[in-house]
Amino acid sequence: MRIICLALLALLYNGLASAQTNLITDIQSRKTTSLNGTWQHIVDPYETGFYDYRYKELRENHGDAYWNTDVPKDKSEKKEHGYNDKYTLQVPGDWNHQKPEFVFYEGTIWYKKSFDYSPTKAGSRYFIYFGAVNYRADVYLNGKKLGMHKGGFTPFNFEIPTSLLKEKSNFLVVKVDNKRYADEVPTLNTDWWNYGGITRDVKLVELPQSFIQDFVLQLKKPIAGKAPAAMPDAEGYVKLSGFKPGETITVEIPELKFKKQIPATGELTELSFKLPKLQLWDTDKPKLYTVKVKTATDAIEDKIGFRTIEAFGKKVLLNGKPLFMRGICIHGEIPQDVRRAFGPADAKQLLGQAQELGCNMVRLAHYPHDEAMTRMADSLGILVWSEIPVYWTINFGSKEVLGKAKAQLDEMITRDHNRASIIIWSVGNETPVSPTRTDFMHSLITEARRLDNTRMVSAALEVNYNSGKSMNMIDDPLGEFVDLVAFNEYLGWYGGLPNECRKTNWGTPYNKPLFISETGAEAKTGFHADSLTRFSEEYQNWYYVEQLDMMKRMPGNYVGISPWILADFRSPKRNNPVYQEGWNRKGMYDDKGNKKKAFYTLQAYYNEMKKKYSSKK
Ligand code: GCU
């Protein structure tokens, strides 16, 4: 009996811990009203608007709560808070770059937006949708709490009870808190700037009573080592909200003259059918098809590329052909403005620079980037490594922290599971090896595969530098569970000088593809000296010359590299007053878009690798 109870408890726990997001996807194809623009704000480092003077949470209708009206009911009423056009912030956008006093601010800022709304259709349902808020968001409308979300880089939405929405002057308030905590994801310590705020789009979404919440349609996981069939098998699902028995779902791809009607089997209806002969998506020809999904009351569409990806023995196969990933790591930051990246123009800058470098792949570090990045990568034919910020010293012993990581993993995969460009879900970066950590990470890998079994799962693993005199082994126990054995190494920057590379070899006991997910050295643009002088462009270039020469001796399962990093980026950990000044200078570009000497060395290597692999096709 006891065993049954324990099993049931475990099932319950896993169900609870693996958050089932109610995320509405394909937001760009919905009826939405943008709430971007100027919001009024109150800076609240002591969270006076949330707690009373005894530090107890204020009750919902408390007059001093910052989510309640700031207008006194008469001249005698005391109000010690208020929203005013003297104090505004632009949304989307981190607060750090908008006002000099916010550059280092870590705490709470209250955002307020008033909006009118006239429903277009009687009987609609309404949701407030956020592309991302870093880190915790408490959302209120007209004095009522809609919900709370944690996680700085993934979308979320809350339903608005129709009785709450007014035609005039809706009072929308968002409490944003970007303080760091040991038991959050990420934790206290990161090598990036803790940009706070409503950093991505905010939209009011109007939907029918029964609507298509999410759908996924991808080519089926390939038969080991095989290219997709001429008429490939596709599978996925359609998730309905407000499902009514008897509904029928239509899936249509007009360009392929494909149309299929499927009876809805409940909230979740599985899809599995053959597609007509089609052009596969790949990095040379990133073909996208418009896929329409309809029910009697709702219709959405998405642009989807059909391809297969798999780790097969020592190789990675894209549509059954061996792939070499010419990558680069990218932070979601626009360095010349010192701000978080969002929207298509920013995506174009970052992905355009990666293309100029000769990349066919980007590692979007260390958190899910704005949706504009993955959608543009689809259009440009750039492969993507997408990652949740399980970074360094997470509290691996906490089931609550595991639940938070799973929630972000779920939101990342749900938002982007139709993106052909994404070939790798990464569950973390450089996490210190221990049995507790490996169990935690293995649980995330299992969850990623439960959510999507069509892509590779990986993480930046740890290197065993003591495995042999000139052989460094990637024998991290987590390597047993990933599809792609990826690792970060900085031989010649964090360990010895670049000529260390000449006598170093790399290996792994896992019969899996091997990928270098980070390598790099710093240089301040315009600082020229001999190659032994740290922070000179010559040192960084020497580092790349030695590293790329070492790559010629990589074992046969070497399938690619994504050096650290495309552009210099802000970090509170980089405090050399001459060369860094709060910037990590490992970029191939500096913060003004200037290329460093090493850019051309890496570019030449990628041109060589492109020729080598294109001749193999
Ligand atoms: C680490 C880490 C990066 C960091 C980089 C560096 O590998 O993954 O986030 O910025 O090294 O030290 O520059």
Which residue owns the Cα nearest ligand 1 atom 3? 191
Residue 348 lies in a domain: yes
Give domain status of residue 7, yes or no: no
Give 444 Cα–ligand 1 centroid separation in angstroms: 22
In whole angstroms, how far apart are CA 246 and each of 160, 240, 272, 281? 27, 13, 19, 35
CB contact at 8 A, 50 and 58: yes
556 and 586 both lie in a single domain: yes
Q: Which helix (H) or strand (E) holds 590?
A: none
Contact 390, 405 (CB under 8 A): yes
3-state SS string for 181-210: CCCCCCCCCCCCCCCCECCCCEEEEEECCC
Which of 15-29, 80-94, 445-459, 467-481 bottoms out in mean pLDDT, i.e. has the lowest? 15-29
Report which protein residue has its CA nearest ligand 1's atom 9: 191
CB 476 within 8 A of CB 429: no
Kindly tell me the burial class for residue 46, based on how many C-beta atoms sit within 10 Å of its own C-beta (0-12, 13-18, 19 or more): exposed
| CATH number, position 237 | 2.60.40.10
- Work out whether the CA dihedral 580, 585, 591, 592 comes out positive or negative: positive
Shared-domain flag, residues 182 and 233 = no
Q: Which of 596, 565, 589, 550 is nearest to 328 (CA)?
A: 565
Residue range 496-502: average pLDDT?
95
Q: Is 280 inside a domain boundary?
A: yes
Of 207, 240, 261, the last residue of a domain is 207
Choose between 309 and 21: higher pLDDT: 309
Q: Of 187, 191, 571, which is best to mutate to test ligand 1, by the most ligand atoms within 8 angstroms of its C-beta?
A: 191
Are the CB atoms for 325 and 316 separated by under 8 Å? yes
Same domain, 255 and 279: yes
Between the CA of 8 and the centroid of ligand 1 the distance, in Å, is 41
C-alpha of residue 396 to centroid of ligand 1, in Å: 20
Task: Kindly give the distance from the C-alpha atom of residue 588 to the centroid of ligand 1, in angstroms, as a whole number.
Answer: 15
Question: Helix (H, G, I), strand (E, B), or coil: what is residue 14?
Answer: helix
Which ligand 1 atom lies nearest to the CA of residue 366?
Answer: 9
Q: What percent of the chain has pLDDT over 70?
A: 96
pLDDT bucket at 578, cuts 50 / 70 / 90: very high
Q: Which of 430, 518, 586 to mutate to test the pocket of ligand 1 (most atoms within 8 A of CB)?
A: 518
Structure confidence at residue 2 (pLDDT): 53
Q: Are residues 215 and 336 in the same domain?
A: no
Backbone angles phi, psi at 414, to 5 degrees: -65, -40
116, 142 Cβ separation under 8 angstroms: no
Q: Distance from the CA of 570 to the center of ligand 1, in angstroms?
A: 12
Average pLDDT over residues 598-608: 98
190, 317, 335, 415, 570 from 339: Cα distances, Å: 17, 36, 7, 23, 9
Ligand 1: centre distance to CA 471 (Å): 22
Atom index in ligand 1 nearest the CA of residue 429 equals 8
Question: Number of C-alpha atoms within 13 angstroms, CB side, residue 180?
Answer: 16
Residues 419 and 279 occupy one common structural domain: no
Mean pLDDT of the 367-382 span: 98
Tokens of 47: 């969270």
In a domain, 5, yes or no: no
pLDDT tens track for 32-55: 999 999 999 999 999 999 999 999
Say if residue 72's pLDDT is above 80.
Answer: yes
Give Cα separations from 88 to 194, 437, 506 (angstroms).
20, 42, 53
C-alpha dist (Å) from residue 509 to 85, 311, 478, 512, 565? 62, 16, 12, 9, 28
User: Is the confidence at residue 615, as pLDDT, over 80?
Assistant: no
CB-facing half-sphere around the CA of 317: CA atoms within 13 A: 18
Q: Give yes or no for a contact between 150 and 389, defined as CB atoms under 8 angstroms apart.
A: no
- Domain membership flag for residue 98: yes
* Cα distance between the two ends of the chain: 59
Q: Could you identify the atom of ligand 1 that is nearest to the CA of residue 569?
A: 10
My answer on whether 218 and 196 are in the same domain is no
Residue 465: pLDDT band (50, 70, 90) is: confident
Please say if the pLDDT value at position 1 is more than 70.
no
Q: Are residues 303 and 362 in the same domain?
A: no
pLDDT at 275: 98
Q: How far is the CA of 501 from the centre of ligand 1 (A)?
A: 19
User: How confident is residue 616, by pLDDT bands cut at 50, 70 and 90?
Assistant: low
Determine, yes or no, domain membership for 317: no
Residue 58 has pLDDT above 80, yes or no: yes
For tokens 């001429």, the residue is 230
Degrees (nearest 5) of the Cα angle 255, 258, 260? 145
Instruction: Report, as an integer, the average pLDDT of 437-459.
Output: 98
Q: How far is the CA of 332 from the centre of ligand 1 (A)?
A: 14
User: What is the mean pLDDT of the segment spanning 519-526?
Assistant: 98
Closest ligand 1 atom, residue 522 Cα:
13
Mutation probe of ligand 1 site: the residue of 189, 333, 392, 564 with most atoms within 8 A of C-beta: 564
Instruction: Assess whether 302 and 343 both reside in one domain.
Output: no
Same domain, yes or no: 95 and 225 = no
Report which ligand 1 atom has the smallest distance to the Cα of 586.
13
How remote is the C-alpha of 389 from its chain's centroid? 8
Model pTM?
0.96
Residue 350 DSSP SS3: helix
Nearest CA to ligand 1 atom 7: 488
Taking the centre of ligand 1 as the mean of its atom positions, its distance from the CA of residue 365, in whole angstroms, is 10
Q: How far is the CA of 520 from the centre of ligand 1 (A)?
A: 9
Q: How far is the CA of 459 from the centre of ligand 1 (A)?
A: 14
Cα within 13 Å of Cα(555), Cβ side:
21
Q: Give the integer Cα–Cα distance in Å for 35 and 58.
A: 27
Q: Does a structural domain hold residue 6? A: no
| CATH number of the CATH domain containing 187 | 2.60.120.260
- Provide the H-helix boundaries in 22-157: none
The side-by-side arrangement of strands in the sheet containing 315-318 is: 309-312, 315-318, 321-322
What is the per-residue pLDDT for 530? 98
**Where a domain ends, among 247, 279, 310?**
310
Convert the pLDDT of each residue in 417-439 to its tens digit: 999 999 999 999 999 999 999 99
Last-in-domain residue among 172, 189, 207:
207
Tell me the average pLDDT across 23-29.
96
Lowest-confidence segment of 174-178, 473-477, 488-492, 612-616 by average pLDDT = 612-616
Tell me, rounded to whole angstroms, the distance of Cα 47 from its chain centroid: 29
Q: Which atom of ligand 1 is nearest to the CA of 190?
A: 9
Question: What is the rounded CA–CA span in Å between residue 407 and residue 64?
Answer: 32
CA proximity to 448, closest of 430, 422, 487 = 422
- Is the four-CA dihedral 98, 101, 105, 111 of positive or negative sign? negative
Among 333, 387, 488, the mutation site with the greatest number of ligand 1 atoms within 8 A of its Cβ is 488
- Residue 21 is predicted with a pLDDT of 66
When divided into structural domains, the chain yields a total of 3
> 502 and 533 in one domain?
yes
248: helix, coil or strand?
strand
105 exposure class (CB count in 10 Å sphere: 0-12, 13-18, 19+): middle
Question: What's the 430 CA to ligand 1 centre distance in angstroms?
Answer: 9
Measured in angstroms, how far is the CA atom of residue 191 from the centroid of ligand 1?
Answer: 6
Can you tell me the mean pLDDT for 395-420? Answer: 98
Tell me the pLDDT band of 585, cut-offs 50, 70 and 90: very high
Strand order in the sheet with 88-91: 88-91, 37-43, 108-115, 170-177, 136-141, 144-150
Report the pLDDT value the prediction gives residue 10, as an integer from 0 to 100.
Answer: 45
Domain that holds residue 285: 211-310
Within 6 A (CB) of ligand 1 lie 191, 366, 429-430, 488, 518, 564, 584, 586
In a domain, 50, yes or no: yes
Are both 361 and 446 inside the same structural domain? yes
d(CA 9, CA 3): 10
> Is 451 in the same domain as 415?
yes
